[in-house]
Amino acid sequence: MTSQPASTPTTTSKPAGTLTGIAASAPTTPPSTLTGKLPALGWNSWNAYGCNVNSAKVLAAANQFVSLGLKTAGYQYVNIDDCWAMTSRDPNTKRIVPDPSKFPNGINSLATQIHNLGLKIGIYSDAGTNTCADYPGSLGNEAIDAATFNDWGIDYLKYDNCYVPGNWTDSATPQGNDWYNSNSAIRYRQMGAALAGVSRPIQFELCIWGQANVWNWGARVGHSWRMTGDATATWTFITTAITTNVAHLSSVNFFSHNDMDMMEIGNGALTIQEQRTHFAAWVMLKSPILLGTDLSLLSSTQLAIIKNAELLAFHQDASVGTPAKPFTAFSNMPSTTVPEYFAGTSSKGVHVFIINTSSSTATKQFTFSNVPGLGTSGNFKVHDMWAGTDLSGTYAASSSFSVSVAAHDTVAYFISKA
């Protein structure tokens, strides 16, 4: 990115709380409450196809939602990422033009086909002059592009953060240390206002890479916001995304989701255990889950992970919007760089998730009375959410539960009164 001009206007003579510059007139429109209450479940084209995206591949993913049972499991968004457009706007209408070699019948025809399957369609643009792959961005054309997406039947917009002009970057802490009034936030606020002005409810993802303290203001502008750089199919990325998000879980609730980026299940050399942790972590932290692979290549084991009904029920709980959070599982519990023990509530009750971050099998334990929400008396039974089965026996509140967990794996339990 280019840098901010060296001289910036001083605001020392202004009364406290007075906004100056573009912040003084920037829109403050909140996001739609007709969409985005729960974290999105869907698919995105980028991790599978990059710039080699086309209507056939997108429609194939939509049809696989149906044939593989993903639609029944709750997945609904089929999202086109970068590289769908021509490199120049229409000279007369100023609209972005779909590349006819990739989308010969346009985007609206594809949207109709996807809607006819009972699914929703998403698209991609950028809060800069160009997208990350150098196609037209939407900065300065927000109203035109929102109207275009509305006319095409778009249900979801991923809005990226490349090619930001120097006068739109943040060279320093914004006025009053309020990042909602930063140049970065205002670029996203402008598209948010444009989306609010069209007839379709469009879920708005702020793909801002964890910049500008987005977790503090994202819910005033959109439904979810990226917390990291781009995902990779590595254990390091998974643990980094978890650690980054744990610091900002108070930002997560209905209509308000820290986005840990797209799923890498089916990509790279992740072990099955790492893929289970990838999915479980996104579930328990209530991140959007957008699958990012050629769905036809998923194994039955991988499909069982991403269709697990009990984990998805926690993720999509319409009564409880908050995520699971780290807790002290037993007295004198050693701390780890990546938290390993999480507890959260759903409309059913209390859940515990345990990640083994070490590279070998390890015994993990927790004391029932230490689990938030369980209380310090009575007896409890444990249900394995992955297997969908109850474990034998009951446990007193003062007793401990231990389990052997494979390297980089995650166990998930629902705990109830016996």
Segment 113-123, tens digit of pLDDT: 999 999 999 99
Of residues 146, 256, 153, the one with CA closest to residue 192: 146
What gap in Å lies between CA 145 and CA 250, rounded to an integer? 33
User: Are residues 383 and 313 in contact, defined by beta-carbon separation less than 8 angstroms?
Assistant: no
What gap in Å lies between CA 17 and CA 274, rounded to an integer? 48
Give residues with Cβ within 8 angstroms of 250, minimum separation 6. Answer: none
Give residues with Cβ within 8 angstroms of 163, minimum separation 6. Answer: 1, 126, 128, 129, 130, 131, 132, 134, 137
Query: Low-confidence residues of the chain, pLDDT below 50?
Result: 1-16
**Would you state the pLDDT for residue 4?**
33
Q: Chain centroid to CA 70: how far?
A: 18
> What domains lie within the chain, and their CATH numbers?
41-316 (3.20.20.70), 325-417 (2.60.40.1180)
Report the 10 Å Cβ neighbour count for 322. 16
What gap in Å lies between CA 125 and CA 85, rounded to an integer? 10
User: Are residues 39 and 222 in contact, defined by beta-carbon separation less than 8 angstroms?
Assistant: no
CA distances from 191 to 6, 125, 199, 353 (A): 27, 10, 14, 37
**160 catalytically annotated:** yes
| Phi, psi of 342, deg, nearest 5 | -130, 145
The 10s digit of each residue's pLDDT in 128-187 is: 999 999 999 999 999 999 999 999 999 999 999 999 999 999 988 887 889 999 999 999
**Would you state the pLDDT for residue 21?**
86
Q: Chain centroid to CA 21: how far?
A: 32
Scan for tokens 């089916």, then name that residue: 266
- The two tokens of residue 414 are 């629902």
Query: Residue 380 carries which side chain, given as an amino acid letter?
Result: F
What gap in Å lies between CA 178 and CA 403, rounded to an integer? 46
Q: 381 in helix, strand or coil? A: strand
- The two tokens of residue 341 are 């023990």
What gap in Å lies between CA 54 and CA 99, rounded to an integer? 9
- The two tokens of residue 152 are 């095409």
According to DSSP, the residues that pair with 341 across neighbouring strands are: 354
What gap in Å lies between CA 199 and CA 323, rounded to an integer? 31
The 10s digit of each residue's pLDDT in 45-85 is: 999 999 999 999 999 999 999 999 999 999 999 999 999 99
Scan for tokens 């929400």, then name that residue: 373
Give residues with Cβ within 8 angstroms of 263, minimum separation 6. Answer: 47, 231, 278, 279, 282, 289, 290, 291, 292, 293, 306
**Would you state the pLDDT for residue 15?**
44
What gap in Å lies between CA 70 and CA 290, rounded to an integer? 12
What gap in Å lies between CA 108 and CA 202, rounded to an integer? 15
What gap in Å lies between CA 413 and CA 418, rounded to an integer? 14
According to DSSP, the residues that pair with 225 across neighbouring strands are: 206, 258
Catalytic residue among 126, 145, 160, 261: 160
